[in-house]
Amino acid sequence: MTRHKGIILLYFNFLSILFLTTNCERSAEIHIADLRCEYRKEPLGIDERHPRFSWIMESEERDQTQSAYRILVATNPGILSKEEGDMWDSGKTISDRSIQVEYSGKELESNTTYYWKVMIWDKADRPSPWSTLSSWSMGLLDKSNWQAKWIGIEYGEKGSRIPDDPLLTPRGTPPGTPSPIVRKTFQLGSEAKRAMVYATALGLYELHINGEKVGDHLLAPEWTDYSKRVQYQTYDVTDMLKPGENTIAAVLGDGWYIGTFGQWGDDARRGKNYGSLERKFLLQLDIQTVDGASTEVLSDESWRGYYDGPVRFADMFLGETIDARKNIPGWDSPGFDDSKWKEVEIFPDPGIELVAQMHEPIRVIDTLTPVIITEPEPGVYIFDLGQNITGWCRMVVNEPEGTKILLRHGERLTEEGGLYTQNLRRAKQEDIFITSGERDELFEPRFTNHGFQYVEISGLSRKPELSMIAGIAISSDPEQTGSFECSNKELNQLWSNILWTQKDNQHGIPTDCPQRDERMGWMGDALVFAQTAIYNMNMAPFYSKWIQDIRDAQTAEGKFADFAPHPNWDKPHLNAPGWADAGLVVPYRLYQNYDDLRVLEKQYQSAKKFIDFVHKNNADLVWKNHVGNQYGDWLNGDLIDSDDYPEEGAAMPKEVFATAYFAYSTRILAEMANLLGNNSDAEKYLMLADSIRQAFIDSFVSGDGKITGDTQAGYAIALDFNLLPDNLKPLALNHLLRRISEYDGRLSTGFHSTVIMMKELTSWGHTGIAYDLLESHELPSWLYPMDQGATTIWERWDGWVEGRGFQDIGMNSFNHYSFGSVAEWMYRTILGINLDEDHPGYKQFTVKPEPGGSLTWAKGEYHSIHGLIRCEWRIEDDHFIMGLTIPVNTRAIVHIPSDFPESITEGGLEAIHAPGVQSFGIDENQGIFEIQSGTYQFESKYSLRHNK
């Protein structure tokens, strides 16, 4: 935040206190907090012309709701303090809407900061005090706002490579070219009042001003389909500038634009993914000074460039080589003599869209100290970070000039204690540091990333200490919204492993894995994990960006890709059932969880085109044509390699799987149409969804409820997608239970069906079986990998098996989140926090904890878009005791498990007489209540024997 803004906030707080003290008698006991614009607090540089506002309310009173709101938006805080808004005054608006309220004032302008505040009226029409002030700024809204030119400078002859120097590049890789550096010095007549940088690159950039790095973004501008669009980032640099000489400078890297990615990302493809080997940079710095002058600093021919700096090579998969002998002291500071540097090159405008980055950037999210060092061979040291992460190592060394230190990164150790790297395939993950001989030299890469828990270091002249390195974990960094804890420590570790796996696979896009030569935005994986991801973090901005990537990857005829971004390779991956469907499922999850209709609006035509394409090519409504690579229920039990596990019987036949998804997605499309008010489409696609369901029944379901393939997966998916007639559902359920017992109580489900089976077991009253699966240590299970030391979720249940060793090196990631989708079940069933589909965004929701297994207590939170939901229960002395918090302006239907539902109390009173509580129903095992906002404490007679 700028100094300027800080002063204003102080001033404003003073005003609020004044206001509070003079108006408390008329105020509602409500505190407004957490003001958000487009899901984020005080975002910079957004390009949404009608941003949406959300706020939450806190109150000590129960049963509080909002009956009206008033929003003021102004171009400066002084106007707001007079209770005026020169951009927008919504007036008192009768509405209980406190999320996704669309800005409806005057047209917003580029490169401008706006300030806003909100007050509400409670359910008794009592006004609240004004909220504290918040703000956001607009980015550059029109192409014409961009006056800067794309610049860069390449090694030697344009695009030529440095000589093949084995010292400088990872073993066996073709040499790259060093990272170019560009800089400019400019004068400022007086102090800056407001200074905003808008910057981007084709490649990567790290920006510095006056000797310091700007912002905390890493790997900016992150990955999009660069043939169509690139994101720019906005930084407030007011405090970094000073009167007199200033320097702005950037180092450029290869990133996804030039470097290797994907399983086909062999080294020879460097530079071919987006058709260029040239790193290009674009920057616009807009400065207003206190003397009223405006200055613009633009990337253009006035910049100087240098091509022989310390970053000799950097590739996302292969690693980074830094030669400290090439360091250039002062390169990013005023006073540096760049007269020997060259003029930069000017590149033609690539003609792609420049869009604002609206989601949280990739940042350092954790710094880990290693837990142990081993020395498997003399002079070769392996550091164990104790946690599988994505990122790199920071290292401080004292070695003579020219010492070459090699860092190799891997997820596991071999049985002999060496570094296991075979599963990395072509992603070498090797960093090389070459010392200049200075004391305490610090090395840290910035244009690569690795998936690893272990780092092997060689080339040191003496035995290192643990403190020599730190593991730097990096991730796209949405706020954490969920937490989970219970009496079984193993489940707590499992939940932590799932959260880490999410963090490790969020780098501008949701990836399948962070280590081997793949790391793609595989859509099937994201589809199954999205709900878990949303419980864990505020995912809306991140997924909204990725849904645009999905649209960019769609073919003209309507096929969705299997991963997004989907560069235009000779080997396209398109339209696989269960992968392509993420183009409907993920936007729909955003709608359900955040009441975000806009994401549906934006996606609607693409979704429709996809369903129409599948329909047109599968007239009998069994999806068998245009199924792409048809992965099916990926990594189901048939792929487990273990003597005491059935070799077949787990894989859902491909057509059954595909047709189930066709029906499911078509129903989502009908619902999208309905929500968007397109009634004729809603009717048309509802009829189509019903017909596909009928085709599913006719083709695959027999009169005894058996489904072709007779798999756990098939029954679970058919029940969950509502594909069966009511009379066959109990029969299908019995087949599901039979198939579980035929696997000796073990699961045989794959990526798609695992969490679905858990949910179906619970919804049909077999939560005990679900707990048995969750707490099992037998292969395949969640706890089996943990017994083998897993700190993240494995791609395969049997990634490593005692006595057998590692699975197929061709596909064996130890950091793949799909099976971690069970966290959704843990939130829903153990904590009991469930969406109500008829009331999106948790306006109303269900709390239905189901104790079971070994658990005697559980607690957790979910920070919904409407506010904090907290649930905590324990079983003690034959009582079930539950604490619960329901956000203001929402209500919940709460199920309290009980032996004698009539005896349930809340806060010591008979529950139905407690304030804010109304009876909603009762059966022999539970009392059901509708409760309004507030904090509650329920108690009921309940015995532990119910568990199991």
> How many other CB atoms are there within 10 angstroms of residue 808's CB atom?
12
Burial of 45 (0-12, 13-18, 19+ CB in 10 A): buried
Closer to ligand BGC by Cβ: residue 321 or 505 = 505
How many whole angstroms separate alpha carbon 473 and alpha carbon 872? 31
Closer to ligand BGC at the Cβ: 81 or 515? 515
- For ligand BGC, the closer of residues 427 and 847 by Cβ is 427
Return the residue matching tokens 């003397």: 291
Ranges within 212-251 binding ligand BGC (CB under 6 A): none
Query: Which residue's CB is nearer to ligand BGC, number 280 or number 796?
Result: 796
Smaller CB distance to ligand BGC: residue 343 or 641?
A: 641
* 504 belongs to the binding site for ligand BGC (CB under 6 A): no
Using CB under 6 A as the binding rule, whether residue 637 contacts ligand BGC is answered as: no
As measured in angstroms, the least distance from the Cβ of 429 to ligand BGC is 17
Residue 140 sits at the vertex; the CA angle it makes with 135 and 144, to the nearest 5 degrees, is 155
Question: Smallest distance from the beta carbon of 856 to ligand BGC, in angstroms?
Answer: 36
Nearer to ligand BGC, 310 or 524 (CB): 524
Of the two residues 584 and 695, which places its CB atom closer to ligand BGC in the complex? 584
Which residue, chain included where needed, has tokens 């098939």? 714
User: Of the listed pieces 288-296, 512-520, 686-694, 859-867, which binds ligand BGC according to CB under 6 A?
Assistant: 512-520
Q: Does 524 bind ligand BGC (CB under 6 A)?
A: yes
Residue range at the interface with ligand BGC (CB under 6 A); choices 83-91, 521-529, 537-545, 731-739: 521-529
Nearest residue to 933 via CA among 874, 883, 871, 890: 890
Please give the structure tokens belonging to residue 518.
């793949």
Give the nearer residue to ligand BGC in terms of CB position, either 202 or 528.
528
* Catalytic annotation present for 876: no
- Judged by CB under 6 A, the residue of 513, 553, 833, 865 near ligand BGC is 513
How many alpha carbons fall within 13 Å on the CB side of residue 459? 20
Token output for 807: 């699975």
Q: Are 33 and 269 in contact (CB under 8 A)?
A: no
Give min distance, CB of 518 to ligand BGC, in A.
5
Q: How many CB atoms lie within 10 A of CB 89?
A: 15
525 binds ligand BGC (CB under 6 A): yes
Query: What is the closest distance, in whole angstroms, from the C-beta atom of residue 811 to ligand BGC in the complex?
Result: 6
Which of these ranges, 47-55, 89-97, 522-530, 742-750, lies near ligand BGC under the rule CB under 6 A? 522-530
Give the start-end residues of each E strand in 303-397.
304-306, 311-315, 319-323, 342-343, 345-347, 353-356, 362-368, 372-377, 380-397
Q: Is 588 in the site for ligand BGC (CB under 6 A)?
A: no
Closer to ligand BGC by CB, 51 or 524: give it: 524
DSSP per-residue string spanning 439-466: TTEEE---S--EEEEEEEEE--SSPPPG
Within residues 806-825, the interface with ligand BGC by CB under 6 A covers 811, 816
| DSSP string covering 547-602 | HHHHHHH--TTS--BSBSS----SS--B--TTTTTHHHHHHHHHHHHH--HHHHHH
DSSP-assigned states of every residue in 459-496: --SSPPPGGGEEEEEEEE-PPB-EEEEES-HHHHHHHH
Site size toward ligand BGC, by CB under 6 A: 10
What's the CA gap between 341 and 348, in Å, rounded? 22
- Pick the stretch among 77-85, 430-438, 520-528, 545-553 that binds ligand BGC (CB under 6 A): 520-528
User: Which of 631, 657, 661, 797 touches ligand BGC (CB under 6 A)?
Assistant: 631
Q: CA 454 from chain center: how many Å?
A: 24
Q: Does 512 bind ligand BGC (CB under 6 A)?
A: yes
Residue 581 binds ligand BGC (CB under 6 A): no
Per DSSP, the three-state class of 925 is coil
- Considering only residues 816-875, where is the footprint of ligand BGC by CB under 6 A? 816
Residue with tokens 């080589």: 321
The CB-of-884 to ligand BGC minimum distance in angstroms stands at 37
Q: What's phi and psi for 766, nearest 5 deg?
A: -115, 40
Return d(Cα 364, Cα 772) in angstroms, integer. 37
Output the smallest distance, CB 563 to ligand BGC, in A: 8
- 634/938 with CB nearer ligand BGC: 634
Residue 634 CB, nearest distance to ligand BGC (Å)? 5
Q: How far is CA 435 from the centre of its chain?
A: 37
Is there a contact between 745 and 709 (Cβ–Cβ < 8 Å)?
Answer: no
User: How far apart are CB 293 and ligand BGC at their closest, in Å?
Assistant: 54
Least spacing, CB of residue 816 vs ligand BGC, in Å: 6
Question: Phi first, then psi: what are they for 520, rounded to 5°?
Answer: -105, 165
- Write out the binding residues for ligand BGC, residues 756-815 only, by CB under 6 A: 811
* Residue 687 identity: M
Based on CB atoms, which residue is closest to ligand BGC, 203 or 510?
A: 510
Q: How far apart are the first and last CA of the chain?
A: 53
Helix axes 582-594, 654-675, angle to 10 degrees: 40
Angle of helix 712-720 versus helix 729-742 axis, rounded to 10: 150
Residue from 399, 411, 518, 655 carrying the catalytic annotation = 518
Q: Can 557 be counted among the known catalytic residues?
A: no
Q: Which is nearer to ligand BGC, 322 or 811 (CB)?
A: 811
Scanning 212-220, 266-274, 384-392, 511-519 for contacts with ligand BGC by CB under 6 A, the matching segment is 511-519
518 near ligand BGC (CB under 6 A): yes
Q: Which stretch binds ligand BGC (CB under 6 A): 517-525, 610-618, 854-862, 933-941?
A: 517-525
Q: How far is the CB of 264 from ligand BGC (least distance, A)?
A: 11
Q: Annotated catalytic residue: which of 154, 795, 824, 872?
A: 795
Q: Determine which helix (DSSP H) or strand (DSSP E) holds 101, and give its type and residue range.
A: strand 101-102
CA separation for the pair 195, 241 (Å, rounded): 8
Tokens of residue 465, six digits: 């200490």
Listed ranges 357-365, 443-451, 510-518, 908-916: which one lies at the site for ligand BGC (CB under 6 A): 510-518
- Determine, following the binding rule CB under 6 A, whether residue 522 of this chain makes contact with ligand BGC: yes
**Among candidates 314, 334, 330, which has minimal Cα distance to 322?**
314
CB of 427 to ligand BGC, least distance (A): 13
Q: How many residues does the chain have?
A: 948
Which of 817, 204, 218 lies closest to 521, judged by CA? 817
| Shortest separation between residue 526's beta carbon and ligand BGC, angstroms | 9
> Is the bond preceding 178 in cis, omega lying within 30 degrees of 0?
no
Query: Which residues here bind ligand BGC, judged by CB under 6 A?
Result: 512-513, 518, 522, 524-525, 631, 634, 811, 816
- Which of the residues are catalytic? 518, 795
